[in-house]
């Protein structure tokens, strides 16, 4: 990490961990379908003090849940550092920029920008998708807010329209640690390479990847990241988490885009006397492997129906804080 490191918000414990060169841990929770905080706090409590930050999803799977901004605020107020996810699916640029200002005003630093799932896949299939901005444009806007203290209605480097951007100065700029998503690959693909370079150019400073349980792919991916110089500008956290069963692993592999679960992992789960215990053991072993891989700055732990297993895997991997 060269010059970009010096502008990162050290108010974030996740940032401090990464800047110190220590192996970072983030986890993910889905906000409840609730107008009260109790269920969210109960779900997140086991992660307190064991991970550096907790992601709250923004309408994951295009399903209605408590807003990610509200959920992140609740966690923040209760001593759990959040990563707030913000998707382009549901809001136009006015609403997205307003939410960015609100996130900053709430003292939230970690931001993960995503495109968002198609509404037709969720529980409101008749909802109108917005997608007024592409994720790269929203990344650039968040970066401009942080680095330059202004809002642009157009981002010149992302358009070819020849239109001068209208700017508005922000009286108190936010301090964002800006993240995006990626999917580990074993061989360089030009489209992937161009996409990741664009994310970097738009101000992305950390990447959380989709779930990948194939350590050969992760090892090749990390080598590519180092060789291409990406790790000099961005921190990479690889998606993992305790799998509860072979059936669940197969469903995720077959239905969730980008998820990789190799046959040998499914076989281990299928043959285990206690699949949940085996899933924890696999996660712990793979976290230990990744902690030794050059280019891997940490792990992003996802277990939507099995959050209580995450602390067990962390303890077993000897990665507890």
CATH number reported for the structural domain that contains residue 18 in this entry = 3.20.20.220
Q: Could you tell me the pLDDT band of residue 14, with boundaries at 50, 70 and 90? A: very high
Considering its fold, how many domains does the chain have in total?
A: 1
User: Cα separations (Å) of 256 from 115, 189, 221, 248?
Assistant: 15, 21, 20, 11
> CB of 128 within 8 A of CB of 89?
no
Tell me the per-residue pLDDT of 93-103, one tens digit each, with 9 for 90 and over.
999 999 999 99
Q: Which residue has the higher pLDDT, 105 or 305?
A: 105
pLDDT for res 159: 45
Pairing of strands 177-182, 167-169: unpaired
Distance of alpha carbon 236 from alpha carbon 1, whole angstroms = 12
Within-domain flag for 319: no
> 176 is in which domain, residue-wise?
3-235+297-302
Within-domain flag for 286: no
Within-domain flag for 150: yes
For residue 160, pLDDT beyond 50: no
pLDDT for res 156: 44
Separate counts of helices (H) and strands (E) for the chain: 11, 10
Cβ atoms < 10 Å from Cβ of 219: 18
Q: H or E stretch including 99? A: helix 93-105
For residue 85, pLDDT beyond 70: yes
Within-domain flag for 89: yes
Q: What is the mean pLDDT of residues 296-310?
A: 93
pLDDT for res 162: 45
Q: Could you tell me the pLDDT band of residue 62, with boundaries at 50, 70 and 90? A: confident
3-state SS assignment for residue 188: coil
Tokens of 149: 């203290």
Lowest mean pLDDT segment, chosen from 226-235, 272-281, 305-314: 305-314
Pairing of strands 150-152, 167-169: antiparallel
Within-domain flag for 253: no
For residue 7, pLDDT beyond 90: no
Tokens of 269: 């789960």
Distance of alpha carbon 235 from alpha carbon 146, whole angstroms = 18
Q: What is the mean pLDDT of residues 152-178?
A: 69
pLDDT for res 154: 54
Tell me the per-residue pLDDT of 124-142, one tens digit each, with 9 for 90 and over.
899 999 999 999 999 999 9
Within-domain flag for 153: yes
Within-domain flag for 255: no
Within-domain flag for 49: yes
């Amino acid at each position: 990490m060269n010059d970009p490191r010096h502008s990162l918000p050290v108010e974030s414990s996740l940032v401090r961990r990464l800047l110190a060169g220590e192996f970072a841990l983030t986890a993910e929770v889905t906000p409840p379908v609730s107008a009260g905080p109790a269920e969210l706090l109960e779900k997140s409590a086991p992660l307190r003090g064991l991970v550096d930050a907790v992601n709250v999803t923004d309408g994951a799977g295009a399903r209605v849940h408590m807003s990610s901004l509200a959920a992140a605020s609740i966690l923040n107020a209760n001593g759990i550092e959040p990563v707030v996810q913000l998707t382009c699916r549901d809001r136009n640029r006015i609403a997205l920029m307003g939410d960015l200002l609100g996130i900053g005003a709430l003292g939230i630093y970690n931001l993960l920008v995503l495109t968002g799932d198609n509404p037709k896949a969720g529980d409101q299939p008749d909802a109108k998708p917005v997608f007024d901005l592409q994720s790269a444009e929203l990344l650039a806007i968040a970066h401009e807010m942080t680095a330059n203290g202004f809002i642009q209605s157009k981002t010149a480097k992302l358009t070819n329209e020849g239109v001068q951007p209208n700017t508005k100065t922000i009286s108190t700029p936010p301090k964002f640690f800006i993240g995006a998503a990626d999917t580990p690959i074993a061989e360089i693909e030009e489209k992937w390479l161009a996409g990741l370079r664009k994310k970097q150019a738009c101000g992305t400073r950390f990447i959380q990847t989709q779930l990948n349980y194939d350590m050969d792919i992760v090892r090749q991916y990390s080598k590519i990241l180092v060789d291409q110089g990406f790790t000099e500008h961005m921190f990479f956290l690889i998606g993992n988490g305790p799998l509860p069963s072979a059936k669940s692993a197969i469903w995720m592999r077959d239905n969730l885009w980008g998820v990789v679960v190799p046959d040998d992992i499914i076989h281990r789960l299928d043959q285990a006397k206690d699949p949940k215990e085996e899933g924890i053991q696999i996660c712990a072993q793979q976290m230990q492997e990744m902690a030794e891989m050059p280019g891997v700055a940490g792990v992003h732990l996802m277990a939507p129906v099995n959050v209580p297993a995450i602390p067990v895997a962390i303890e077993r991997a000897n990665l507890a804080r």
